[in-house]
Amino acid sequence: MIINVISRKLFLSTAIICCFVSNNIKAQTAKNSKKISPDLFGLFFEDINYAADGGLYAELVQNRSFEYGPTERSGWNPLSYWEYACLGFSYGQLSVETNEPVHRNNPHYVVLNVEHVGHEAKYAGLSGVGMKNSGYDGMVIKAGEKYSFSMFAKLLSGKSIKMKVILESKSGALLASDSFTVDSKEWQKQTASLQPSASYDTANLIVLATTEGKLAVDEVSLFPEHTFKNRPNGLRADLAQVLADMKPKFIRFPGGCLAHGDGLNNMYRWENTIGPVEQRVQQRNIWGYHQTAGLGYFEYFQFCEDIGAKPLPVLPAGVSCQNTGGTWRIGGTGQKAIPMEEMQAYVQEVLNLVEWANGPATSVWGAKRAAAGHPEPFHLEYIGIGNEDKITPEFAERFKMIFDALKSKHPEIIIVGTVGPSPDGEDFDKGWAIANEIKIPVVDEHYYTDPKWFITHQHRYDSYKRNATQVYLGEYASWGNKLRNAIAEAAYMTALERNGDVVRMASYAPMLAKKGFTQWGTDMIFFDNASICLTPNYYVQKLFSANAGDTYVGNVVVKDDRDSALAASCVQDSKTGDVIVKVVNYDSSKTKKIVVDLSAFKNIQSNAQQIVLVGNANAENSLEKQEAISPVESTVTVGKKFNYDAPPMSLTVVRIKTRKL
């Protein structure tokens, strides 16, 4: 794609361009610029579609602490994903017990009773009794990389017991092994290191007692040493990296419906997710699987800090998801409310989060953060209260209690309220009425709808009141992962930039989905254990968040404003001085002509970076056919005024420097 310095002749054919040529269009002045939110584009993370356990959280062992159960999924039990292993004509027993657990929050553990160790070797003299874990559909291991094994063990018989830990292929080939001895009568953490000789995508882990005796085992864990930023208990490096590459300004977590939960006992209570992993409260995931809470609040905050994103934790507003008990989805009436006599304690829990995140290491909650290895504060600015809740009197009463307490104790925190699951309707109206009445700084709007809606509603926020409650568009997506969907979202995002004085934040949803384990069809990034598929929607989000600005400048892109298939925006980033023009053509067959007038900017550098995402409207990426659609980058020459032909079904970003390097 070539950008030419404007040729007058070329544009005489359209009215708009005639205006431009005849200088009737106002050159951009300061009047056309306004400050917009510096936090506009970020990420929404929810543990849906195996996004955390089995996904971003790098733990390779599934059901590591034997807490799976039938209330999470029919057929599950504490030994799901484990099988009894006995090698070399050895024999013994394996049972699940709860008498003296590692911690009361982690009640189940396994007792291995090794009655006899035989001598018929499977692997070079190896025999014993133990158990085998198959991970999340097998474990991906890489030759030469190191893997950290750990487990809690306690000797239940007289003599110490020798242990082997092994990685094996599906056909039983030995890929790595290490050994240690259990000799403590108290629970003790044992560690080992495995370095596979070969790469393998579906390995199993075997934990084997190779001498006779009885021991208790819990919290069996295997992590790659190489996690994102090499954090212990860390994140899968490749997945975390594609998120970091987006340069998101914030991350909302932990959901979604997961945040307010399936009934009162299923709410995501942040205090339960910090501290040593073996002591965290695990629970049923509202999306039909298990949450270890291994990826808990500390890890979320750490990840935000690691990638320069502001944390946006969302806490329940004292009520559970209205779809509790399977009344999914819009309009559910299963909402349950924390009894009023327990609300003071709940409000305190919300306040504690601020102290945990921002308080000095000498404070009660700050000390817990420091103990986890982070004495410095996390600089929490935002807290979300509620997730698209049904706006009932019970909700309103509890929300206001939390809001008032937070506002009076921590006026520095920006509170994000909630206005239901849809772009309009009863909950939306009632939610906004509360926001206006008590002056909530920001409210969270959600909508999942078809691409045409995004094209026809580009003016939604133009008429929102300024200097009042702002909007966090916390969940949105058009129905699909084809290029057409992504380009419709891109058009809408130019309108979010134009309204960046009222739309403070926006995040696409959901973010991650593991192939074969999804509960939500349209997602931003698909993955399996070995690879990642970046959808066209991902690329659109990345192009906007990595090319964001803090000033919106109007009248830079001259185009036919009656054509809703053609959208554009221009922002400037005060940190770099760069001017960023985005042009979106949603028409699948016609090229659209526009003019870019940069005359209001000083020091325009002629070498600009251009990135174009373009293709067939129905094209999409998949794990099998990677990168059918991906952005193409080039260097182009620009002048103060230039024309551009936006290709059919495309997003173009032009990044122009105003400072000499």
Residue 536 near residue 613 (C-beta atoms within 8 A): yes
Q: How far apart are CA 551 and CA 290, in angstroms?
A: 43
Comparing CB distances to ligand AHR, the nearer of 144 and 326 is 326
Q: Regarding beta strands 503-508 and 43-44, do their DSSP bridges make them parallel or antiparallel, or are they unpaired?
A: unpaired
Pairing of strands 250-253, 310-315: parallel
Closest to ligand AHR by CB, 20 vs 287, is: 287
Q: What is the CA radius of gyration of the chain?
A: 28
Q: Per the structure block, which two tokens stand in for 149?
A: 């094994």
Where would I find the beta strands (DSSP E) of 14-160?
Answer: 33-35, 43-44, 82-87, 91-97, 109-116, 128-133, 139-141, 147-155
User: What is the C-alpha to C-alpha distance for residues 491 and 43, in angstroms, rounded to an integer?
Assistant: 19
- 388 catalytic, yes or no? yes
Cβ proximity to ligand AHR, 299 vs 523, nearer residue? 523
CB atoms within 10 A of CB 19: 15
Interatomic CA distance for residues 582 and 654, integer angstroms: 6
Q: CB of residue 286 vs ligand AHR: minimum separation in angstroms?
A: 8
State in angstroms the smallest separation of the CB of 13 from ligand AHR. Answer: 45
**Bridge-based pairing state of the strands 607-614 and 632-637:** antiparallel
Which helix (H) or strand (E) segment holds residue 217: the answer is strand 213-224
Residue with the closest Cβ to ligand AHR? 256
455, HSE (Cβ side, Cα atoms, 13 Å): 18
Binding residues for ligand AHR, rule: CB under 6 A, are: 46, 48, 255-257, 387-388, 421, 446, 475, 509-510, 520
Three-point CA angle 261, 264, 268, nearest 5°: 45
Distance of CA 178 to the CA centre of its chain: 35
Q: Which is nearer to ligand AHR, 215 or 257 (CB)?
A: 257
CA nearest neighbour of 537 among 462, 478, 589? 478
Quote the least distance from Cβ 518 to ligand AHR, whole Å.
11
User: Residue 488 or residue 611: which is nearer to ligand AHR going by CB?
Assistant: 488
Measured from the CB atom, the residue of 128 and 256 that comes closer to ligand AHR is 256
Among residues 141 and 257, whose Cβ is nearest to ligand AHR? 257
Tokens of 651: 């997003």
Per-residue 3-state assignment (H helix, E strand, C coil) for 390-423? CCCHHHHHHHHHHHHHHHHHCCCCEEEEECCCCC
Look at residues 574, 463, 418, 497 and name the one whose alpha carbon lies nearest to residue 37.
497
- Minimum gap (Å) between residue 431 Cβ and ligand AHR: 14
Neighbours of 30 (CB within 10 A): 8
Query: Nearer Cβ to ligand AHR, position 520 or 601?
Result: 520
Q: Which helix (H) or strand (E) element contains residue 167?
A: strand 161-168
How many angstroms separate the Cα of 396 from the Cα of each of 31, 135, 245, 300, 646?
41, 43, 39, 28, 48
Closest CB 34 distance from ligand AHR, rounded Å: 31
Number of residues assigned to the chain: 661
Q: Are the CB atoms for 390 and 320 separated by under 8 Å?
A: no
Q: Name residue 415's beta-bridge partners.
A: 383
Backbone angles phi, psi at 522, to 5 degrees: -100, 120
Round to the nearest angstrom and report the end-to-end CA distance of the chain: 25
Residue nearer to ligand AHR on the CB measure, 332 or 631: 332
- Cα 385 from chain centre: 18
Spell out the alpha helix ranges (H) of 439-476: 451-456
Name residue, tokens 């057929």. 75
Q: Cα separation of 266 and 72, whole Å?
A: 11
For the bound state, the minimum distance from the C-beta of residue 261 to ligand AHR, rounded and expressed in Å, comes to 11
Min separation Cβ 255 and ligand AHR, Å? 5
Place of tokens 């090499």: 230
Residue of 59, 278, 388, 489 with catalytic role: 388
Where residue 46 falls (left for φ over 0; alpha for ψ -120 to 50; beta otherwise) is: beta
The set of catalytic residues is 388
